[in-house]
Amino acid sequence: MKIPSKAVLALADGTLFWGVQAGASGYTVGEIVFNTSLTGYQEIITDPSYTGQIIAFSCPHIGNIGTNSEDVESKKIWAEGLIFREITLCTSNFRSQMPLKDYLIEHNKVAIAEIDTRALIQRLRDEGWQHGCIMAGNIDVEFAIAQARQYGGLSGLDLAERVSTLKPYNWLQGSWKPVIGYQDYTADELPYHVVVYDFGVKYNILRQLVDHGCRLTVVPARTPASEVLALNPDGVFLSNGPGDPAACDYAILATQQILKENIPLFAICLGHQLLALACGGNTTKMTVGHHGANHPILDLEQNCVAISAQNHGFTVVEDTLPSLLKVTHRSLFDHTIEGLSHVEKPAFSFQGHPEASPGPHDLSSLFQKFTQLMKASAVVT
């Protein structure tokens, strides 16, 4: 048996975690965050919202079911690097096409395993996010520490444009169905035309919108509102994405212009923050972000609790919200804002990922609310 090469995780303060190589050789830098999900690792690492971040998984065994070409949320792995307690080399799943380690090597992603992830994650929980460098293969500790210290972080950084599509495209694919796989529809079968701003959109968001009757036109992050309005949409969707929402001035302006037209608007994650900014609110970097599939959310309108998937490091500052926005959802972990609704316009938002369905369908009503707004708007017009 080949002995794995050594690897090291260096934090900006000089702390070192030694382990073994679990992906490609080389080094990578980023903001270290932890994810508490027990499943869905392939969906997590292909989420564009993790651009600029290194993910530490709290689940001790990652890779059990291997990887395949279908359970991805985008065209590539966007996470800068990965940290595991143990990466499973023996996979067991009838859909598996490649072990996770081989998948990471194929995508040239650096990863480290066999470190004390509990100690690391407790540190992140108590002290907040850290800048770090993973180095595997030929190791230069001083260089790794220097790279971690030189990393600039995500504050003030616009990453949405980096991960966005380069040109518009149409999407008519729905969710996975037994036997037939992903369900494809024709445009005639879907009554609502929705323009999706791609700030780092996940495939399953698009599928959920299709499942609820939406034919989609996905456009680049910097698409002017005038071009979106020229498509005559029934609704506009602002997607998830990475980076600092306040840096996306073009998206804030487009959101303001779309709100003026009274077109139904649904926003999640980064889009949720952009809606708040477009209405005059502020956002701030969180000390400990939300990353996982077990986050309880209080629905203030329905007076019920939903289990949500989360992936964000910025949050809306509540005392900056204008009176035209009301809070609809709140985190039961730290009471931060998880949902907003415009009191004058047909627009609302959610901070988490309602498409990820850890509940499993606790938040599907948000998609239904969007289609109801579009239906009502069509009657009025």
pLDDT for 44-58, tens place per residue? 999 999 999 999 999
Angle, CA of 361, 365 and 369, to the nearest 5°: 160
Q: What's the whole-number average pLDDT of the chain? A: 96
Tens digits of residue pLDDT in 109-126: 999 999 999 999 999 999
Tens digits of residue pLDDT in 237-276: 999 999 999 999 999 999 999 999 999 999 999 999 999 9
pLDDT of residue 259: 98
Q: What sign for the dihedral angle of Cα 251, 335, 58, 39? A: negative
State whether residue 375 is helix, strand or coil.
Answer: helix
Determine the distance from the C-alpha atom of residue 237 to the mean position of all C-alpha atoms in its chain, rounded to a whole number.
15
Q: What is the mean pLDDT of residues 65-93?
A: 95
Contact 49, 80 (CB under 8 A): no
User: Given a cut of 60, is residue 206 above it in pLDDT?
Assistant: yes
User: Residue 3 — very low, low, confident or very high, per pLDDT cuts 50/70/90?
Assistant: low
pLDDT of residue 357: 82
pTM more than 0.85? yes
The proportion of the chain whose per-residue pLDDT surpasses 70, expressed as a percent, equals 98
Q: What is the mean pLDDT of residues 291-313?
A: 96
User: Residue 185 — very low, low, confident or very high, per pLDDT cuts 50/70/90?
Assistant: very high
Read off the tokens for 267: 């926003």
Q: State the chain's maximal CA–CA distance in angstroms.
A: 70
User: Given a cut of 50, is residue 175 above it in pLDDT?
Assistant: yes
User: Given a cut of 90, is residue 177 above it in pLDDT?
Assistant: no
Query: Mind telling me the catalytic residues?
Result: 269, 353, 355
Read off the tokens for 102: 């081989």
Q: What is the mean pLDDT of residues 137-152?
A: 96
User: Residue 16 — very low, low, confident or very high, per pLDDT cuts 50/70/90?
Assistant: very high
Q: Residue 126, Cβ neighbours under 10 Å: how many?
A: 9
Domains recognised in the chain with CATH numbers: 6-150 (3.50.30.20), 160-380 (3.40.50.880)
Distances (CA, A) of 45 to 83, 105, 156: 11, 14, 23
Is the bond preceding 360 in cis, omega lying within 30 degrees of 0?
Answer: yes
pLDDT of residue 1: 46
